[in-house]
Amino acid sequence: MSQNRLEQLLQFLKEDPNDAFTLYAIATEYRNIDKQKAMEYYEKLLTEQETYVGTYYHAGKLYEELGQNEKAEHIYKKGMQISRQEGNLHAFSELQQAYNKLMGLDYEDD
């Protein structure tokens, strides 16, 4: 992670505090250095920008990393619902795969 990139993103956020992409990018930057801080930004997106479907996959994966599988399950399900409503079948497919894996429903040969 580049500190300069994070600083620039935080400046963009000051200029437009409701920009979903900027919030998402900040969460992504924080993910490797402060998972709780990253989750704060993902949760802000989930609450305030619920149709920004890219958030659901990454927030769900982070919940899994934090051992919060019930929250991950909820996020994946909601993300599938929103992505279907938005007509984003690619996001729906990714969320469904993540959900299936979390639930032990992935049938890949090992």
Count of domains observed in the chain? 1
In a domain? residue 46: yes
Q: Look at residue 41 and tell me if it is in a domain.
A: yes
List pLDDT tens digits, range 17-42: 999 999 999 999 999 899 999 999 99
Distance CA 6, CA 91 (A): 26
Alpha-carbon span 53 to 84, nearest angstrom = 10
Rounded to an integer, what distance in angstroms lies between the CA atom of residue 45 and that of residue 39? Answer: 10
Span 50-93, pLDDT tens digits: 999 999 999 999 999 999 999 999 999 999 999 999 999 999 99
In a domain, 108, yes or no: no
| Residue 39 included in any domain | yes
Query: What pLDDT sits at residue 3?
Result: 72
Is the per-residue pLDDT at 1 higher than 60? no
Using alpha carbons, list the distances in angstroms from residue 35 to 61, 69, 85, 102: 11, 15, 29, 20
CATH number at residue 96: 1.25.40.10
pLDDT above 80 for 108:
no
User: Is 109 inside a domain boundary?
Assistant: no
Q: Record the pTM.
A: 0.88
Range of the domain at 64: 3-102
Give the 3-state secondary structure percentages of the chain, helix then strand then coil, rounded to 5: 75, 0, 25
Report if residue 66 sits inside a domain: yes
